[in-house]
A = this chain, B = another copy of it.
Amino acid sequence: MSDVRTVGVDLGGTNTRAGLVTDSGEIVGRFRCPTRLDLGADAVVQGMVDCVRGAAEEAGISEIQAVGIGAPGPLDPFEGVLISPENLQCMHGVRLKEQLEAALDLPVVVDNDANMAALGEQWLGAGRGVDHFMCVTLGTGVGGGWVSNGQLMHGFNGNAAEVGHITVDWNGPLCPCGNYGCLEQYVSATAMVRRTREKLEAERPETALRSEGLTTQAIFEAAEAGDGFAAHMFEETGFLLGVGLVSLVNVLNVERIALAGGLAQAGERIFEPTRRVFMERGTVGVKEHVQIVSAGLGDDAGILGAARHARSVV
């Protein structure tokens, strides 16, 4: 099938972004608009329609074959229905696939944004050519997507690869998901800031960091400037991420793991302890073959993955 052109859309809490993507994975037209949550579901859906049309127009291409949407979960990828995304309250229960297919007169697939990022990375980024691949996004939460035998994995009702919600300490803090001691409670950007604050207050360490307005970027800059406490917080976060990746690889047996999102930008500060713990705790015969790398596509991963996923219905 040559000359397949699909549009990938990344539905975020702030912006909706679309890209028209060619056979070879090039984004040849882009469009974005604010996600108008304040105006309700119809306005948000209309924004997505505008983005698809805008991307096609910008590319000067009138014929596209399908549209893929990456949206925050939980959602039902088989029916294309959003369930209860935390940052998109007005979209709960919206039958996105149905509505967009009616508006665009094109086949539409809807999937989890973390899945779409993983698929994008596997197609054109850090997972290129790797049939057993996982992408872990360290942001406000910890999301993930996972490809096995070259196929994006969904499980029985589309909720596979919720990698942020494996337990690393059954006695740990309650997670909004209902579980305790989830990986997300330790290694998301939000969790790293919370844990740093808790230590600042409980232990009064010698550090230039202050609780007010604390961000992972500030912790990173302090660590780079020689702040030992800040460096320790990265060490500890990397340690716990390594612990989580050992569990995941022991079950999924993926060959490459890409780390994406803000925290992954900290480079060796996070990768060094993560890889070290992974090698200390991983299984002999497996760990030596597993690569833990940085994601390669940045913000485009989701758009490219959604466009790639749309090809499954062409």
CA distance A266 to B250 in the complex (A): 27
Measured between beta carbons, the chain B residues less than 8 angstroms from A131 are: 156
Does A159 sit at the interface, judged by CB under 8 A? yes
Q: How many residues of A contact B (CB 8 A)?
A: 49
Q: Which of A9-17, A50-58, A202-210, A240-248 contacts B (4 or more CB under 8 A)?
A: A240-248
Known: A167-B168, A169-B169, A281-B179. A162 touches B250 (CB 8 A): yes
Do A161 and B255 have beta carbons less than 8 Å apart? no
Q: Which of A29-37, A64-72, A216-224, A282-290 contacts B (4 or more CB under 8 A)?
A: A282-290
Do A285 and B159 have beta carbons less than 8 Å apart? yes
Copies in the complex: 2
Known: A148-B148, A281-B179, A283-B162. A252 touches B255 (CB 8 A): no
Name A's B-contacting residues (CB within 8 A).
74, 83-84, 131-132, 146, 148, 153-163, 165-171, 177-180, 240, 243-244, 246-248, 250-255, 280-286, 289
29 contacts between A and B (CB under 8 A): A84-B285, A132-B156, A148-B148, A155-B252, A155-B254, A156-B253, A156-B254, A156-B255, A156-B289, A157-B285, A159-B253, A159-B283, A159-B286, A160-B251, A160-B253, A162-B251, A162-B253, A163-B250, A166-B251, A167-B167, A167-B243, A167-B244, A167-B246, A169-B170, A178-B280, A178-B281, A178-B282, A179-B247, A248-B251
